[in-house]
């Protein structure tokens, strides 16, 4: 369907393909449509297409490949766990092309981290279920996802305490069983020193006692009665991720 409308330009064309890359509909190495095809689809001038493709290249999302034209860059954006949920709702994709996860672990553990205790309204030493996995793009570790669930969430969705991957999104099960909607809070980001476990999961070899900074994003999910889950994503150095614009 042609993209028509007053005031639409190269930024709109770039946004279309940026979203496809972020959603995993276009994988690293996939060719973008030709200039002629983009002109026809969006009803824009060749100059507009050129500027749109130039913007994607400047953002590191696309590269020129001679006779192949413009293709998705080898290292695409890595999204957060919360964005992954949104992507699944849009197109049903749990993973982007070339993306996998491993190192899945599930454990009951006493929690002492102030940030987690505050986010989930817990007292230090309260027990929670923690689920951990490492995400990879074409075999290379890009991020570690950590999700923490307090006892009241586990009481409704006991599958979260079981080994292995969840077949369905936990919040859908929670809403089905309680009738209460699950809301996503504000995502925040910070830089901090990586832990030894995080460095191991990301396959980062650092000298003994050396500090390594990593970018971390986190978000809390809740219903009308309070917090239900705390998610944290830890990104490998040089990993690129989208941020709200």
Q: Are 138 and 155 in contact (CB under 8 A)?
A: no
Which of 87, 3, 82 shows the shortest CA–CA distance to 49?
Answer: 3
Rounded to an integer, the average pLDDT of 51-78 is: 85
- Contact status, residue 142 vs residue 136, Cβ threshold 8 Å: yes
Task: List where CATH 1.10.10.10 sits in the chain.
Answer: 10-72
In angstroms, the Cα distances linking 109 to 85, 166, 207 are 25, 19, 29
**Which residues in the chain are classed under CATH 3.40.1410.10?**
81-235
Q: What is the pLDDT of residue 245?
A: 55
Is the model's pLDDT at 94 over the cut of 80? no
The predicted pLDDT at position 4 comes to 44
pLDDT of 8 above 90: no
Output the CA–CA distances (angstroms, integers) from residue 112 to 116, 124, 126, 128, in the order listed. Answer: 8, 5, 8, 10
pLDDT at position 122 is 96
Q: 3-state class of 20 per DSSP?
A: helix
Q: Which two tokens stand for residue 96?
A: 């982007």
Alpha helices in 59-150 (DSSP H): 81-91, 114-120
pLDDT tens digits, one per residue of 114-156? 999 999 999 999 999 999 999 988 888 889 999 999 999 999 9
CB 3 within 8 A of CB 12: yes
pLDDT, tens digit, 9 for 90 and up, residues 175-229: 999 999 999 999 899 998 888 888 888 888 877 777 788 899 999 999 999 999 9
- Whether 24 and 93 have beta carbons less than 8 Å apart is answered as yes
Report whether 138 contacts 77 (CB < 8 A).
Answer: no
- Cβ neighbours of 64 (radius 10 Å): 10
* Average pLDDT score over the chain: 87
The partner residues of 105 in beta bridges, in order of sequence, read: 132
| pLDDT, position 93 | 73
Q: pLDDT higher for 61 or 220?
A: 220
CATH architecture assigned to 81-235 = 3-Layer(aba) Sandwich (3.40)
CATH number belonging to domain 10-72: 1.10.10.10
Query: How far does CA 224 lie from the centroid of its chain?
Result: 25
User: What's the CA angle centered on 184, arms 181 and 190, to 5 degrees?
Assistant: 165
SS3 for 138?
coil
- Choose among 147, 159, 161: nearest CA to 220: 147
């Amino acid at each position: 369907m042609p993209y028509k409308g007053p005031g639409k330009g190269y930024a709109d064309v770039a946004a279309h393909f940026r979203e496809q890359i972020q959603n995993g509909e276009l994988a690293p190495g996939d060719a973008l449509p030709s200039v002629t095809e983009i002109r026809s689809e969006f009803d824009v001038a060749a100059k507009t297409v050129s500027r749109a493709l130039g913007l994607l290249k400047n953002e590191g999302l696309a590269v020129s490949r001679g006779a192949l034209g413009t293709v998705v860059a080898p290292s695409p954006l890595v999204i957060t766990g919360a964005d992954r949920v949104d992507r699944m709702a849009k197109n049903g994709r749990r993973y982007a092309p070339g993306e996998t996860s491993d190192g899945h672990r599930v454990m009951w553990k006493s929690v002492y981290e102030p940030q987690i205790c505050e986010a989930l309204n817990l007292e230090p030493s309260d027990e929670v279920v923690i689920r951990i996995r490492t995400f990879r793009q074409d075999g290379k570790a890009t991020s570690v996802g950590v999700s923490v669930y307090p006892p009241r969430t586990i009481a409704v969705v006991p599958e979260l305490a079981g080994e292995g991957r969840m077949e369905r999104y936990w919040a859908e099960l929670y809403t089905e069983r309680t009738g209460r909607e699950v809301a996503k809070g504000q995502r925040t980001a910070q830089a901090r020193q990586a832990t030894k476990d995080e460095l191991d999961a990301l396959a980062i070899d650092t000298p003994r006692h050396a500090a390594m900074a990593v970018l971390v994003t986190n978000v809390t999910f809740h219903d009308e009665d309070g917090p239900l889950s705390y998610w944290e994503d830890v990104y490998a150095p040089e990993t690129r991720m989208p941020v709200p614009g």
